[in-house]
Amino acid sequence: MAQATPTHIRVLQKAREFMSAVPEGRRNRKTCRTYLKIFRIMYKEGVFDPLRPQDAYDTYCKRRSALRYGGRYVIDQIRQKLEQMLDSADPALVDRVARELDGLIKSVAAAVIRDGGVGGASDGEGSASARWRAVSEDRARRGAGSKRYVLPTLPDDWRDKIWVQVPANSSHRSALAVIDVTGCRTADLVAGDRCGFAYAGAVACFEEDELVIYICPAKTDELVVTRYVVDVEGCGAVAHDLVAQCRASGGWMTIAIQSSDAVRKAVERLGQSVFPDREEAITPYVYRAQAIADAKAQWGAGEMVAIMANHKNDTNQSRYGRYEHATGRRALKAVSTTREIKIGRVAHARVLGELRKASVANPHR
């Protein structure tokens, strides 16, 4: 039986210190599995620095988060294994595991420190964007093929034209209706785990003469419920179809899909059949960009659009459809969410814009 040596005690203490220095954070299970898979690749390659010159910014941020979550998880697993081995395992094997743990802690800790500290890519500790820009200034901007650039080339009634072609018996009909009305992601309709809670899918209710849709978004580190009050008349045939389905189901129904890819491909085929001369595919993200553009025209950029788009702040909406590409549709009466939205960035950008205009108009002031 092995005995705990000063080296073993020192390594275990280093592991505990690393665990306390790197916060565990709150993430859903799917995100955790993704981060752990990425970290295992980093571990196998022996390259723990998340910044690689050829990577786009979002890839770097994902590797950055994987380093912290995956490193913490693997170090904790090996620490527990070492503590258990001290009671029964062969001393030579214990020494080997201790050396492995010590080397991993050194490598991961050095990479975390080099990358700006223990903060994640989105929690404000350490500047991911500053470090990425330092080696990526000459790189093409990610998102040149974003679906928001498709909107100016589409007619205002493009969604109505596609909806007419959706077969009445299509298994994706209800899902497309919810995506059309709310602008949600297809992943938001996939049933499964939501931060430890079972999620059956979006719920549509016809209550007090109003159509209300409840969605738990997939891209979040906490359980969030977003409530959409639909303007049935303003939305048109799609909303009327949902109302009819709710009434036929006793006032409410659950809308869930098995695969985001299946819905995406079905929407692409519909778009191709309605607009056969188009080179750019119409996907659910075109619907999302259009819904956000319409919301910006209705409410103005800011908190309401962030809630509708299931964003945690009012910044990300700038990457989607612009208000000048709105179709005039008023699909929603109101939206609300169970989480607090970080606001103020849109207003700050507007102030800076006005200051720039003033400095150009009066350069000597």
CA pair distance 296, 275, nearest whole angstrom: 26
% of residues, the chain, pLDDT over 70: 87
pLDDT at res. 145: 61
| pLDDT band of 191, cuts 50, 70, 90 | very high
Residue the block writes with tokens 């258990």? 84
Task: Give me the phi and psi of 166, to 5 degrees please.
Answer: -75, 120
Radius of gyration of the chain (CA): 25
Higher local confidence (pLDDT), 280 or 129 = 280
Q: Tell me what the mean pLDDT of segment 157-174 comes to.
A: 95
Mean pLDDT of the chain: 86
Opening angle at CA 323, ends 318 and 327, nearest 5: 135
Q: Do the Cβ atoms of 186 and 256 come closer than 8 Å?
A: no
Least confident of 72-76, 149-153, 161-165, 361-365: 361-365
Model confidence pLDDT, tens digit, residues 175-187: 999 999 999 999 9
CA nearest 110: which of 47, 56, 57, 53? 47
Model confidence pLDDT, tens digit, residues 31-63: 889 999 999 999 998 889 998 877 788 888 899
pLDDT at res. 114: 87
Q: Tell me what the mean pLDDT of segment 345-356 comes to.
A: 64
Q: Is the pLDDT of residue 129 over 90?
A: no
Q: Tell me what the mean pLDDT of segment 316-339 comes to.
A: 88
- Full set of structural domains in the chain with CATH: 6-136 (no CATH), 147-349 (1.10.443)
Q: Do the Cβ atoms of 283 and 261 come closer than 8 Å?
A: no
Most confident of 50-64, 202-216, 307-321: 202-216
Task: Give me the phi and psi of 112, to 5 degrees please.
Answer: -65, -45
CA nearest 188: which of 162, 225, 148? 225
Model confidence pLDDT, tens digit, residues 228-275: 999 999 999 999 999 999 999 999 999 999 999 999 999 999 999 999
CA nearest 220: which of 68, 57, 74, 25? 25
CA pair distance 146, 157, nearest whole angstrom: 21
Q: Tell me what the mean pLDDT of segment 338-345 comes to.
A: 80
CA pair distance 170, 148, nearest whole angstrom: 27
Q: H-helix or E-strand containing 245?
A: helix 237-248
CA 69 to chain CA mean position, Å: 17
User: DSSP string of 159-202?
Assistant: HHHHHHTS-TT-TTHHHHHHHHHH---GGGGB-EEETTEEE--E
| pLDDT band of 226, cuts 50, 70, 90 | very high
Contacts of 195 (CB under 8 A, 6+ apart): 26, 27, 28, 220, 221, 222, 223
For the record, the structure tokens of 68 come out as: 């912290």
Contacts of 243 (CB under 8 A, 6+ apart): 206, 211, 232
CA pair distance 326, 148, nearest whole angstrom: 11
CA nearest 222: which of 28, 73, 7? 28
For the record, the structure tokens of 65 come out as: 């988060």
